């Protein structure tokens, strides 16, 4: 299993690659999303994943607090009755927060001070702009829209806070992780384990394939990731709810 992780493809350009690889992305996400399913796209950005989920026949709640991204979401999906655009961020508790927006890449934003100051974009990007945004919780989103079959979370270092606003297991969840904040990824997994029984896998970069040959326990997942030689390791952890044994 560790060898399989070591053989995975290296770095991928994060932004813009999904659209070019949409057939592969559709095949990949079809393991989690079926026609008629409800999907939460948390950190919808400009809608790349929302487009894929809609192509799979899902109803999508696109969660995005940043104004410029919301304008693009409205332009792309405003007339689609199967897309609900939620102009909010998610956190552990409802309220308001400051969203930092990257000067040189306006679609990159974060509510995590640690990610902004210590993450992989810290040295190459400036963050002089902020927006005050309303935040709610995953629990509140479920109360409003229902339980999703799949929830994708990509919020630039704020994933743990998003999951801390969840108190019941979602059938399938993904969240982004990076090497430099592996401790937060461990905390995300432990939070999910506290909600129910889950098995885990990982997709590195934008590879649109699972890295491990089978779904594994949390400890097996992190043993495999710890053994990976890449210093700039990143991707998405996938969690699948399983029956209690």
Q: Calculate ∠ Cα 11-101-176, nearest 5°.
A: 35
| Cα 37 from chain centre | 18
What pLDDT sits at residue 5?
41
Contacts for 47-50: CB closer than 8 Å, 24+ residues apart: 47/72, 47/73, 47/76, 47/77, 48/18, 48/19, 49/18, 49/152, 49/154, 50/76, 50/77, 50/83
We report the CATH number of the domain holding residue 35 as 3.40.50.150
For residue 65, tell me if it sits in a domain: yes
The CA-atom distances, in angstroms, between 239 and each of 54, 150, 157 are: 21, 10, 18
For residue 223, tell me if it sits in a domain: yes
For residue 104, tell me if it sits in a domain: no
Q: Determine the Cα–Cα distance for residues 117 and 126; give it in Å rounded to an integer.
A: 10
Instruction: Count structural domains, the chain.
Output: 1
Per-residue pLDDT tens digits of the chain, which is 245 residues long: 544 443 333 333 344 445 546 899 999 999 999 999 999 999 999 999 999 999 999 999 999 999 999 999 999 999 999 999 999 999 999 999 988 887 766 677 777 777 666 666 666 567 778 899 999 999 999 999 999 999 999 998 899 999 999 999 999 999 999 888 899 999 999 999 999 999 999 999 989 999 999 999 999 999 999 998 877 789 999 999 998 75
What pLDDT sits at residue 69?
92
Q: Is-contact 195 166, C-beta < 8 A?
A: yes
For residue 86, tell me if it sits in a domain: yes
Residue 24 is part of which domain span? 2-97+134-240
For residue 49, tell me if it sits in a domain: yes
Query: What is the pTM assigned to this prediction?
Result: 0.89
For residue 126, tell me if it sits in a domain: no
What pLDDT sits at residue 185?
95
Of the candidates 109, 101, 107, 155, the residue with the CA atom closest to the CA atom of residue 128: 101
For residue 102, tell me if it sits in a domain: no
For residue 213, tell me if it sits in a domain: yes
The CA-atom distances, in angstroms, between 106 and each of 46, 56, 116, 133, 181 are: 11, 28, 14, 16, 23
What pLDDT sits at residue 163?
98
| DSSP labels, the chain | -HHHHHTS------SSHHHHTHHHHHHHHTTT--TT-EEEEET-TTSHHHHHHHHTT-EEEEE---HHHHHHHHHHHTT-TTEEEE--EE-SSSEEEEEEE-SSSTT-EES-HHHHHHSTTTTT----EEEEEEEE-HHHHHHHH---SEEEE--TT-HHHHHTT--S--SEEEEEEEGGGHHHHHHHHHHHHHHS-EEEEEEETT--S-SSSS-B-HHHHHHHHHT---TT-EEEEEEEE----
């Amino acid at each position: 299993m560790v060898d399989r992780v070591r053989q995975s493809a290296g770095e991928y350009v994060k932004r813009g690659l999904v659209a070019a690889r949409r057939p592969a992305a559709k095949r990949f996400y079809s393991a989690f999303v079926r026609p008629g399913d409800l999907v939460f796209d948390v950190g919808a950005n400009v809608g790349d994943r929302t487009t894929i989920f809609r192509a799979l026949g899902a109803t999508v709640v696109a969660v995005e607090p940043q104004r410029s991204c919301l304008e693009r979401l409205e332009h792309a999906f405003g007339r689609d009755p199967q897309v609900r655009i939620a102009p909010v961020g998610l956190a552990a508790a409802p309220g308001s927060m400051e969203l930092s927006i990257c000067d040189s890449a306006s679609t990159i934003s974060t509510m995590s001070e640690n990610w902004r100051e210590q993450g992989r974009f810290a040295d190459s990007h400036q963050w002089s702009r902020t927006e005050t945004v309303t935040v709610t919780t995953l629990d509140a989103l479920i109360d409003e829209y229902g339980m999703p079959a799949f929830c994708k979370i990509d919020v630039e270092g704020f994933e743990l806070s998003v999951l801390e606003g969840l108190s019941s297991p979602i059938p399938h969840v993904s969240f982004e992780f990076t090497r430099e904040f592996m401790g937060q990824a461990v905390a995300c997994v432990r939070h999910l384990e506290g909600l129910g029984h889950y098995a885990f896998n990982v997709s590195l970069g934008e590879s649109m394939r699972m890295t491990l040959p089978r779904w594994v326990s949390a400890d097996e997942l992190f043993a495999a990731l710890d053994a990976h030689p890449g210093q700039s390791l990143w991707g998405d952890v996938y969690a699948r709810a399983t029956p209690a044994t």
